[in-house]
């Protein structure tokens, strides 16, 4: 078979790694669609669980299908006490993303593995992961603070229950509604780094818990999901509107990346950033202003002046942290919250990968040498 030499593209930029009908991004127009439905529509009219169903099974569920899905998710929110006991051994100084990756992989120890041709197994894995990941994020956070985890509250919906488990009190309805929209916005985004990880891991036909653990580890990096936490650190370092431009000048001189800006695909403002900004303003109106917001607005303006010509605009991570702060979520939990939502997209790609699977095994352009003789250690 003749080997066709395809030009090497660092980071596989612009190289299709799959054919998918799950989501679509137009980076020039700033469009994001889930199964053909615009993200603005879903943010306004859908719920996270309905959106997760749409992403995973490819259509908007009927009333009965959605009720059955929501019921099953409520029923499976609890986690095994052995997983909770394992979390009690995690060091307080450990990062919540490492805790999440560990506990997600641990789920695989408890549930049957690899009946991947059985739709019931697929559904049970989807339900368990969507149901238990929020519980694990909240539980490990409470234990990190030295408290006992609280059990999920079955009469609360998905978003409200997570905020309840995290803050130990039922959230304001607006806070729960805003958080549900945040989950919709973060649910899926074509073949980003963590989704690609999920696909590669899925292609070996391992269990879905290992797939999600692999994706969580990838999302943790500051160039991918970890930027939202760094944005808040950056805004606090800037400290005032007057210091925005001097700070930006320093970043440009040292070629430092400005966290929350830029995107491999979007060359305009990320449509999710636009909606997150609106959500932040809704929360400020009800719960009070955040001084970091005016710094963020000034930074967005300054970055556009300096880097707009290179297509560097706010991405999803720039305003999400300001929303989460208002919801009482600490900054090192921002990326685990991103992961809670993205489990829906990762599972959609896992399921899609299984339909026409072929194990990922790309090639390379070898740049090393050949026929080197071995030098004994005493001669080195
Ligand atoms: C998300 O892929 C996805 O879909 C990700 C995501 C999802 O939903 O899964 O959308 C999530 O968007 C999170 C991204 C969060 N990361 C950050 O905010 C970190 C800061 N951003 C950059 O590291 C960067 O923009 C990336 C990693 C997001 C994208 O980088 P690329 O496509 O590899 O671009 P690049 O690094 O090759 O940069 C191209 C040029 C360079 O300038 P030159 O060397 O050509 O002169 O743009 C510059 C870069 O220096 N640039 C930036 C910049 N991002 C790119 N300069 C300053 N600040 C930045 N943030």
Residue 274: Cβ-neighbour burial (10 angstroms; 0-12, 13-18, 19+): middle
Structural domains in the chain?
227-326 (1.10.230.10)
Contacting residues for 294 by C-beta, under 8 A, at least 6 apart: 241
Protein residue with its CA nearest to atom 33 in ligand 1? 264
CA distance 57 to 351: 9
pLDDT of 250 above 60: yes
pLDDT of 236 above 60: yes
User: Does the C-beta of 260 come closer than 6 Å to ligand 1?
Assistant: yes
CA of 95 to the centre of ligand 1 (A): 23
pTM exceeding the 0.75 threshold for the entire prediction: yes
Query: What value, to the nearest 5°, has the Cα angle with vertex 45 and ends 76 and 322?
Result: 80
CA distance 163 to 147: 16
CA of 69 to the centre of ligand 1 (A): 37
5 against 168, higher pLDDT: 168
Ligand 1 atom nearest residue 316's Cα: 12
Q: How sure is the predictor about 25, in pLDDT bands with cuts at 50, 70 and 90?
A: very high
CA 108 to the chain's CA centroid: 20
CA of 281 to the centre of ligand 1 (A): 26
CA distance 314 to 274: 9
The predicted pLDDT at position 2 comes to 59
User: Does the C-beta of 95 come closer than 6 Å to ligand 1?
Assistant: no
CA distances to 99, 104, 126, 196, 200 from 205, rounded to whole Å, are 24, 17, 16, 15, 9
Protein residue with its CA nearest to atom 41 in ligand 1? 310
For 147, the token pair is 């408290």
Q: How sure is the predictor about 113, in pLDDT bands with cuts at 50, 70 and 90?
A: confident
Tell me if residue 88 falls in helix, strand or coil: helix
Ligand 1 atom nearest residue 252's Cα: 57
CA of 260 to the centre of ligand 1 (A): 8
Question: What angle, 0 to 180 degrees and rounded to 10, lies between the N-to-C axes of helices 81-88 and 96-110?
Answer: 150
Beta bridge mates, 32:
25
CA of 27 to the centre of ligand 1 (A): 13
Side by side, which strands form the sheet with 37-38? 23-26, 31-34, 37-38
- Strand 23-26 with 37-38, pairing: unpaired
The predicted pLDDT at position 115 comes to 87
Percent of the chain with pLDDT strictly greater than 90: 95
User: Does the C-beta of 224 come closer than 6 Å to ligand 1?
Assistant: yes
Residue from 213, 315, 217, 306 nearest 263 by CA:
315
The predicted pLDDT at position 7 comes to 86
Ligand 1 atom nearest residue 310's Cα: 47
For 279, the token pair is 């959500």
Protein residue with its CA nearest to atom 45 in ligand 1? 310
The predicted pLDDT at position 193 comes to 97
Helices (H) and strands (E) in the chain, counts: 16, 3
The predicted pLDDT at position 34 comes to 98
The predicted pLDDT at position 163 comes to 98
Residues noted as catalytic = 263, 317
pLDDT of 1 above 60: no
The predicted pLDDT at position 5 comes to 62
Average pLDDT for 364-372: 96
User: Does the C-beta of 252 come closer than 6 Å to ligand 1?
Assistant: no
User: Does the C-beta of 264 come closer than 6 Å to ligand 1?
Assistant: yes
Average pLDDT for 254-263: 95
Backbone φ and ψ of 246, nearest 5°: -60, -40
pLDDT of 114 above 90: no
CA of 135 to the centre of ligand 1 (A): 31
Protein residue with its CA nearest to atom 7 in ligand 1? 189
CA distance 361 to 205: 14
């Amino acid at each position: 078979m003749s080997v066709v030499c395809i030009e090497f593209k660092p980071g596989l930029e612009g190289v299709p790694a799959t054919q998918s009908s799950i989501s679509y991004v137009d980076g020039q127009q700033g469009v994001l669609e889930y199964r053909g439905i615009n993200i603005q529509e879903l943010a306004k009219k859908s719920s996270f669980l309905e959106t997760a169903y749409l992403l995973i099974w490819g259509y908007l569920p009927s009333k009965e299908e959605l009720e059955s899905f929501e019921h099953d998710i409520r029923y499976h929110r609890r986690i095994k006490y052995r997983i909770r006991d394992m979390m009690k051994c995690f060091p307080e100084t450990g990062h919540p993303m490492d805790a999440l990756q560990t506990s997600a992989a641990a789920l695989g120890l408890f549930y049957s593995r690899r009946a991947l041709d059985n739709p019931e197994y697929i559904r049970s894995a989807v339900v368990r992961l969507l149901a238990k990941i929020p519980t694990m994020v909240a539980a490990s956070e409470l234990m990190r603070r030295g408290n006992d985890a609280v059990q999920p509250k079955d009469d609360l919906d998905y978003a409200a229950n997570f905020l309840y488990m995290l803050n130990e009190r039922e959230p304001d309805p607006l806070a729960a509604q805003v958080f549900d929209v945040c989950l919709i916005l973060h649910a899926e985004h074509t073949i980003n780094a963590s989704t690609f990880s999920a696909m590669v891991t899925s292609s070996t036909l391992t269990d879905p818990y290992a797939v999600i653990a692999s994706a969580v580890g990838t999302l943790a990096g500051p160039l991918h999901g970890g930027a939202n936490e760094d944005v808040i650190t950056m805004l606090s370092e800037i400290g005032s509107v007057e210091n925005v431009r001097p700070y930006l000048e320093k970043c440009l001189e040292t070629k430092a990346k400005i966290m929350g800006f830029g995107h491999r695909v979007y060359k305009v403002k990320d449509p999710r950033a636009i909606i997150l900004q609106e959500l932040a303003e809704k929360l400020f109106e009800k719960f009070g202003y955040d001084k970091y917001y005016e710094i963020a607005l000034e930074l967005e303006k300054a970055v556009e002046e300096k880097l707009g010509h290179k297509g560097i605009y706010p991405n999803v991570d720039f305003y999400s942290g300001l929303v989460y702060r208002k919801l009482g979520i600490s900054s090192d939990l921002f990326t685990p919250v991103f992961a809670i939502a993205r489990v829906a997209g990762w599972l959609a790609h896992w399921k899609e990968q299984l339909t026409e699977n072929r194990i990922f095994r790309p090639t390379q352009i070898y740049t090393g040498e050949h026929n080197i003789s071995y030098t004994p250690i005493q001669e080195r």
